[in-house]
Structure 1
């Protein structure tokens, strides 16, 4: 249902918007605080920047309320896999209730047509209410969904105008934290770039598959790499029949997921890291993605596996959007075959398979890993945006940025940072061993 706030953003005085911003260009409309009631009794927020066009902005608490508009933007606009309707709907069903969060999905219309969607959710922390992207740590890239016309209009707006739009749509929300926003995606510059933002602590890694697997290898010392993989495969075959490829049955897909969840929990416990895959509802979320993908030409989740003697040794979970393969996760068993690098072998073979299927790019996701540098030649720069919507939100953002500055200072001291990581892993290993 729609948010019950109506705000015509037509003529708010520039002094109210922001005293430190530049004078607006003549074509930028003024805004005012006059409230009007929508003719149908439902709420909407309107921002107008030109005589014959305007954004109408409203927030919805159920993805299905705007499924038609959502799927239209998916097919004609620009988005990532993490903002597709079925991905967000599955997360909203299984995880958001466990997080005690409520969807606040912002739909913008331009000249009456769907123009953009920001899949957000709101949560309460102490005295403040915050809006964040739906998906949490499982949503690597948060771009929203945009028509090309809407992106161009939004890019011409000033920070205070965008903040006013969000304030009108997100009634009762004190601030928004919009993490991991790509600066550019599918040749589209970030439409929300005017917001106050800073570089994320992580970045994404990908490479093109143009020209086929031989061309991919040629750029990456392919002959030597292929010989090493073939040597590892020969040694694995000594232990049993070697099989690898994309899983086609739902039963085997769920078995591969079970393997991943088990191995991931073990590794993160040993390293002293929180297991976001073990959070309430997350297992059901990924199973739902797998189930929804059965009849999709571009699945939300498909599993690839490597088996030796019928036993799973490594798995990769990935998705496809606009012929771009997005890797969610990869893991392998730490057993007698671990020295043969089953994860590396499966990655090598999956990339070859993706080339055969005509995929355009292979994205290894966010977070630095040494093996990613062996494949990837594109680094996706990401930003975190902080959007104050009330005075309490301003105070909360100031506290967040102080904490972030302290963390950045710690990261810049390699000695202290490594000692902290070592201590965390040491304590976690001992706690894990004591619970076994």
Structure 2
């Protein structure tokens, strides 16, 4: 169902606001199917969004994971005076300690979160536009606070309009590799590093040694069967919680990897290094014609793991997208050492915690403080070692 939250005419100040904001009304949509037409319109490559906010990806996540976590769709759509959609916020609503918290769909499985925007509107959006949007959400919704985390400051050279709102740096940064179309391959990965990887690859090579991007349903299913056998072993080895064992996550990943997009590609692409005997390494992520972003990966438990198969596969992936004119590649949020071997720059990532009610004010302050503390721990070696020790002890 749809709860219309018309902005114009609600208060004495509405006429003045309409002169400074293009947003004339805001709807809160609580059913995915009702939001789908506008959603697909705004995820078109000519508009402004990240591939993590595709309908096919987030609808699968909500149906398979979000619903099991008692999250309900909370999709805010803003329109101009002629009824044209200007933006869509793909949120889910939950209650924590009696407070209604709206956060981006996707949970732990999306690197970047962002609204889907009409491109021209995003370029010109002002503080008045954001105020009109928030007023529309506040007027008719059960949300007390918007917890809008892990947003890119810029995307495709356009500023994220939510950076206008009070913001703070996210817990983690995202290492990124900038790629110049047509540049020599050595600009992305230097000659000395390539030689080292080539030496490892010679030791790794086995009959049928090959790099592939999975295309058929059968290939995708086979590679995912391997991933879901090996990944829990790798995470247990590192004493990390297995997020892939949470209810619905495996079905979400399988369904999304099998989903074909309008251009013939998949909602999640799978890249693999394998030989006749086994799969050696796997990386999966989202691509949009300009950028590849990794979502999950793992590598073999066999002796072949000694020869850095993940790094060899990453080289192949970078070369694959460089040949196709991509402009950027990232390996997900976090400062793992292997990411820095390829991605030398950092993508600025920010959070907004926006109160919408009197209940939301202390909740927003608490969530903001928790994330600031986490960021501090991540950047203090002593605190980080202590936190890791606690995780190993009690994990």
TM-score of the aligned structures, taking structure 2 as reference length:
0.90
Would you say 1:332 and 2:299 are equivalent positions? yes
CA distance in 2 between partners of 1:199 and 1:294 (Å): 33
Aligned match of 2:359: 392
CA distance in 2 between partners of 1:411 and 1:315 (Å): 27
Aligned match of 2:333: 366
CA distance in 1 between partners of 2:369 and 2:327 (Å): 41
Worse-superposed segment, 417-426 or 112-121? 417-426
Would you say the 8 A contact 1:302–1:317 is kept in 2? yes
Mark the runs of 5 or more structure 2 residues left unpaired by the alignment: none
Once the two structures are TM-superposed, the CA of residue 269 in structure 1 deviates from its matched residue by 2.6
2:195 to 213, 220, 227: 227
Aligned match of 1:67: 36
Change beyond 3 A, Cα 1:391–1:422: same
Worse-superposed segment, 340-349 or 353-362? 353-362
Flag the structure with larger Rg: 1
Would you say 1:247 and 2:247 are equivalent positions? no
Once the two structures are TM-superposed, the CA of residue 177 in structure 1 deviates from its matched residue by 0.3
Aligned match of 1:204: 174
Would you say the 8 A contact 2:26–2:133 is kept in 1? no
Change beyond 3 A, Cα 1:216–1:56: farther
CA distance in 1 between partners of 2:390 and 2:351 (Å): 28
Give secondary structure in 2 for the equivalent of 1:98.
Answer: helix
Q: Which has the higher contact order (CA 8 A, sep 6+)?
A: 2
What's the C-alpha RMSD, in Å, of the aligned pairs?
Answer: 2.5
Would you say the 8 A contact 2:5–2:136 is kept in 1? no
Structure 1, residues 266-286: CA drift from partner, whole Å, max 9, x if none?
222333333222211111111
Would you say 1:83 and 2:50 are equivalent positions? no
CA distance in 2 between partners of 1:421 and 1:176 (Å): 30
Once the two structures are TM-superposed, the CA of residue 29 in structure 1 deviates from its matched residue by 5.8
Once the two structures are TM-superposed, the CA of residue 426 in structure 1 deviates from its matched residue by 4.6
CA distance in 2 between partners of 1:320 and 1:348 (Å): 16
Aligned match of 1:424: 391
CA distance in 1 between partners of 2:226 and 2:279 (Å): 8
Within 5 Å, give how 1:253-264 maps onto structure 2: 253-264=220-231
Would you say the 8 A contact 1:272–1:425 is kept in 2? yes
Aligned match of 2:2: 2
| Regions of 4+ moved over 6 Å | none
Would you say the 8 A contact 1:79–1:144 is kept in 2? yes
Once the two structures are TM-superposed, the CA of residue 242 in structure 1 deviates from its matched residue by 1.0
Give secondary structure in 2 for the equivalent of 1:337.
Answer: helix
Structure 1, residues 315-338: CA drift from partner, whole Å, max 9, x if none?
111221133222212210132111
Give secondary structure in 2 for the equivalent of 1:176.
Answer: strand
Would you say the 8 A contact 1:206–1:363 is kept in 2? yes
Equivalent pairs, count: 393
2:117 to 127, 146, 159: 146
Would you say the 8 A contact 1:323–1:361 is kept in 2? yes
Give secondary structure in 2 for the equivalent of 1:390.
Answer: coil
TM-score of the aligned structures, taking structure 1 as reference length:
0.82
Mark the runs of 5 or more structure 1 residues left unpaired by the alignment: 14-27, 32-47, 429-436
Aligned match of 1:346: 313
Aligned match of 2:256: 289
CA distance in 1 between partners of 2:136 and 2:353 (Å): 15
Would you say the 8 A contact 1:157–1:194 is kept in 2? no
CA distance in 2 between partners of 1:319 and 1:55 (Å): 33
Aligned match of 1:37: none
Would you say the 8 A contact 2:23–2:86 is kept in 1? no
